[in-house]
Structure 1
Amino acid sequence: MEEHKKRIIKAIRYIDNHLDADLSLENIAEVAMYSPFHFHRIFKLITGETLQNYIIRKKIEKSAFYLAVKKEMEIKEIYLDLGFSNHSVFSKTFKKYYGIAPSVFRNSAPETFHRILQIESKNGQPDAVFSQYICHVENLLNWTKMNLKIEVKELPEMNLAAVMSLGIDNVEPSYNVLIEWAKKKQLFPRENVKMISVYHDSFKVTPPDKVRIHACMLLDEKLDGQDGLVFSETIDAGKFIVGSGEVTLQDFEQCWVSLFLWMNEHHYSMRKAFPFEIYHSNFKEHPEGKMIVDFCIPIH
């Protein structure tokens, strides 16, 4: 099963990096080194959904994320960038997932940072409803001032060893796999080792059991290729909004929402790169379960 997971991870990374390309079953199966028939079955077994459903979901979730945080992008630019042929096809597919048109989502969701929740209505059909994400924006900004130091920084390139986690509940097991690998390589424990979580999906648009997070360790040198479930990942050098603070795990959601609000308030735009967290301490070693974290958003 580990070899299968390794190949499926390779396929998932290819899909997510080529959402505007030809993502036919044959092409992706070739990337994963399977026959199309076997790849389709194994992909569903490991991810819990068909390849086509995964691709469409990723396209729609990415479009929702762009609608929420990249206001300067026209809707046409977004759907063409993600490989939709026209507005009608895009709008129909978007409504299927979120119950509203893309333009309505853009006008309603990002301003107050509401989260879409899927609930069952009385007739058994899913209704897309907006529930308040975190209190009032004003209260959130006050919380931010008390708990986070926010700066715009240039960060250097970071070479990482990474293990993919599909679903929030699998993050800790992924870190366990990473640490066991690092111990064998004599890379852990060592002084000032940094663990980093890279978010390849947004919780605003992706269900917690589907969100993809890479559990990573900062390395001195680039990892050569893939070693079992551990693969190389690079965070490119660039400009970032960095929110630093000593917080509990329960505060993470507020921290991220605060940073995106701060980004919009200060008229920054997010780059096509992934946000991440850098951990400077371990919450398990703190009496109140707190940890020192940098929350980082890539910006232009």
Structure 2
Amino acid sequence: MTTALDHYHARMLRVLDHIDRHLDGDLDLETVSGVAAFSKFHFHRQFKATFGLSLHRYVQLARMRQASKRLADEQGASVTDIALDAGYETPDAFARAFRQRFRQSPSDFRKSPDWAPWLQAFGPLNSARSRLMPTTFTPDQVTIRETPPIRAAIFEHRGDPATIDATVQRFIAWRKAAGLSPQTHPTFNIWHSERRPADPADYRMDLCVGLNPGQRVEAEDPSVKAGEIPGGRCAVLRVTGDTHNLEPAALYLYREWLPASGEEMRDFPIYCQRLFVGEPEMGAAAELFLPLR
């Protein structure tokens, strides 16, 4: 049974590899199902059941990711050529889709990319790929670090985690208005509850922006308050690639690393720093901090 399942997954991974290498080619249902040697009459259901996205949606996101990477190269191809290579009939259609997904026009993105909505937009794509590419962690990936206290502007989310995306959008809009770019002011998440509490109303998470010494932030939004992430010893685990769901990394620290380490937790929740790298092909990254005594 395990061998058969592994063989099935290998065929599906072969499909993803083919899509990656032929984004500017023909990726219709008949072509892609043939790569996996599956019946085209069932393949679209198999693909969605495996990856959580339809084949069309997956290809659309993969092509848009490639297009945005090419746009980030100011000396690269023209916006028109990038739009046509991404499968759009006109540059206007590409611009509309790009703005809807990234809240920037292609030309604005080329001049000054905003990586926060870029990373969020490809969460579904990263999650799809991670279904057959589970991340495993080992003790040598965890380091113990002495961290300084961090003054922060804290944007609170309280209530059903299903509404977190709306809070993230408000957070992004607020930090833009306040001039707190991710490139100059670090981004943190603090989790005060488990990812899926029995009562969704009990879910609590803070989205935070690190502040410079002496910097103050005036905010009319009652969700924003001044605070501090306390310094001290922390176990740190770096995650790269798909950082949309950091629960597996957090569970590794709690369930495996901590009991084996002999360390004790400090009275502060686990938190992470989001790392918005300058080049998207390097992927997203995050560092999880488990406070220790």
Query: TM-score of the superposition, structure 1-length normalised?
Result: 0.45
Q: Which has the higher strand share?
A: 1
- Whose Rg is larger? 2
Q: TM-score, normalised by structure 2?
A: 0.46
